[in-house]
Structure 1
Amino acid sequence: MIGAKTTILITGGAGFIGSNLCEYFLSKAYFVVCLDNFATGHRHNIAPFLKLDHFKLIEGDIRNLEHCRAAVAGVDYVLHQAALGSVPRSINDPITTNEVNVAGFLNMLVASRDAGVKRFVYAASSSTYGDSESLPKVEDKIGKPLSPYAITKYVNELYAEIFSTTYGIETIGLRYFNVFGRRQDPNGAYAAVIPKFVMQLMEHESPIINGDGNFSRDFTYIDNVIQMNELAMLTQNKEAINTVYNTAFGDRTTLNDMVSYLKEYLSEFDAEIANVKVIHGPNRAGDIPHSLASIDKAKKLVSYAPKYSFQEGLKEAVKWYWDNLK
């Protein structure tokens, strides 16, 4: 029976997605181990969990194989979220991005293989589609990567496939599409666009859209991502294992429309926000013009049924930011 005797390791568990996964699985009475070096994660994200008997924090780095081995000891499932995100960060510092996302990933695979974990579910990325212009994005049709970050996430998929076929470890990759929601950090040079814009609008500052604002994204609310991780971890469908899935809602929104929704929802709390002007800047290097996922494979093989549309998720996220950051 799944429950307190089942142990999950969540790497990057103090980060945005990782801490939400920790919270969810703790609520389901799993024993949760969090591995994080706090390079991009935050202690306040996991502070409420530290007093729980079924939560364990290991402060360590996936670039250190011994840290990885210590973290996987006695673990049934690994949800590998630890990575250095951000296309611009990878362009500015490709070496560190590669060390964390490739060498660190390989360390986690080796440690998981040697510890005999039941399944290794990992965060892949929609950036893997690269310069492919086909829409919607289907898992078996990718293009050439457009950034060092995209290369690292594609290499993760290649390593996972080799480890599945060579060593027999079960792996599932989840290609995340522009995940957003509670606890996503609005601060720092590489902050994601939604929390950054929310923070700016709450301060009555003009957000800067890269380009004309007609680039579009399949923005995906965090609760859909949690659902997909749980399905990937627990599926008993043999056909569903050792592959990758788009993890998205399956719809796209332009950046211009996204900002319009933000202003609309935030102005319910502060009417002045409706009057904040938007600035347009140059396009950003390495950006994919349009992103839209086909989620048919996930629906068919793991019964994925995302509950939150972009607008529904955005309303939830805006309320969380207003309640927690204002």
Structure 2
Amino acid sequence: MKIVITGGAGFIGSNLAGMLAEHPEVTQIRVIDNLSTGFKENLAGLDVHFLEGDIQDTALLDQACHGADAVVHLAALPSVPRSVKDPLASHHANATGTLQVLEAARRAGDLHVIAASSSSVYGANPHIPKHENLTVAPMSPYAVTKLATEAYLGAYHHSYGLPVLPFRFFNVYGPGQRADHPYAAVIPKWISATLAGQPVTIHGDGTQTRDFTYVGTVCHVLTDALLRRVVDPRPVNLAFGSRTSLLDLIREIETATGLRACREHVPGRVGDVPHSQADSTRLRALFPEVATTALQEGIPTTVDWFRQRPTSDV
């Protein structure tokens, strides 16, 4: 089995490449990444065929997809604040980029396409937990681009018979998620700040809740979906119904690091969703054997990864 991972030098993509490399059924892993948010060093020691470039490059996509069996489409411009600042860039990378990947998958012989959407599509809908049949109400350009991603997958399934599986990722965290860029996610930012004795910046009062999902669990689901060729045009929540406030998250980080975090509250951000929690019914029906990783286990593992990194990298 030959697998293409777009965005494969990023946090989730490189973790997935590492896991796929352990399966003898996977004979080749091809990674496309323009290194705008990924790092080639994330793939160090892995037997992957790396193609540096953008998913807007149709020739590069065709090269990657030729003779392949499946594509895991993770390439994107992440971050709600980034999309608020530059909505067109997010649209081109996330929505148009997905369309380019789907067209390449068709040209290559209707490859199995698994793609990452986001829980941000639920947006202003206050219902908790979030199930996939809820009315979506995006609150940011980023959320709109992710809604377009999953909608295009469904449309290509129904229009062309393309085998697809769109996942709504929630707040994925774990080893390999760096803090050294302006749009870093909350867990790496706060771990890095706490270890460095710097203030932890909290947007709002910290009572916002998130369904944090460990990257190893996410990659296990993606790997199982590839090996069993799981197809479903409907979006699937890839999270397990946990609900942790940001204040509770800080306490978990303090426990794992043995350090006291200095809290600094600032105004809330435009486009941020107040509460997020997944209904995992559909996920568990498709992947009944998946096991979750509790925050109390995942945070210490992530802290250990940070402690092993050079200071300049965290």
Bin the TM-score by the shorter chain: over 0.9
Alignment match, 1:260: 251
> 1:325 deviation in Å?
4.0
1:14 to 9, 13, 30: 9
Find out whether 1:151 has 2:144 as its counterpart. Answer: yes
Please give the secondary structure, in 1, of the residue aligned with 2:236: strand
> 1:205 deviation in Å?
0.5
Please give the secondary structure, in 1, of the residue aligned with 2:309: helix
> d(CA) in 1 for partners of 2:133 and 2:181?
34
| 8 Å Cα contact 1:12-1:83 kept in structure 2 | yes
CA deviations over 1:94-146 (Å, ceiling 9, x no partner) = 11111110111100000001101441000110011111110100011133210
1:303 to 283, 288, 304: 288
Find out whether 1:319 has 2:312 as its counterpart. Answer: no
**TM-score (normalizing by structure 2):** 0.95
Residues paired across the two proteins, number: 309
2:31 to 34, 42, 66: 34
> d(CA) in 1 for partners of 2:140 and 2:283?
26
> 1:63 deviation in Å?
1.4
> d(CA) in 1 for partners of 2:72 and 2:275?
28
2:44 to 42, 47, 60: 47
Please give the secondary structure, in 1, of the residue aligned with 2:45: helix
Identity %: 37
Task: Tell me whether 170-179 or 24-33 shows the greater mean CA deviation.
Answer: 24-33
The unaligned stretches of length 5 or more in structure 2 are none
> 1:162 deviation in Å?
0.9
> 1:235 deviation in Å?
3.5
Q: 1:39 to 1:129 in 2, by over 3 A?
A: same
The unaligned stretches of length 5 or more in structure 1 are 1-5, 268-272
| 8 Å Cα contact 2:16-2:223 kept in structure 1 | no
Alignment match, 1:270: none
> d(CA) in 1 for partners of 2:198 and 2:151?
43
Q: Aligned AA for 2:40? A: R
Q: Aligned AA for 1:33? A: R
Find out whether 1:109 has 2:102 as its counterpart. Answer: yes
Q: 1:236 to 1:82 in 2, by over 3 A?
A: closer
Q: Aligned AA for 2:35? A: F
Q: 1:249 to 1:309 in 2, by over 3 A?
A: farther
| 8 Å Cα contact 1:249-1:308 kept in structure 2 | no
> d(CA) in 2 for partners of 1:162 and 1:76?
20
> d(CA) in 1 for partners of 2:163 and 2:139?
29
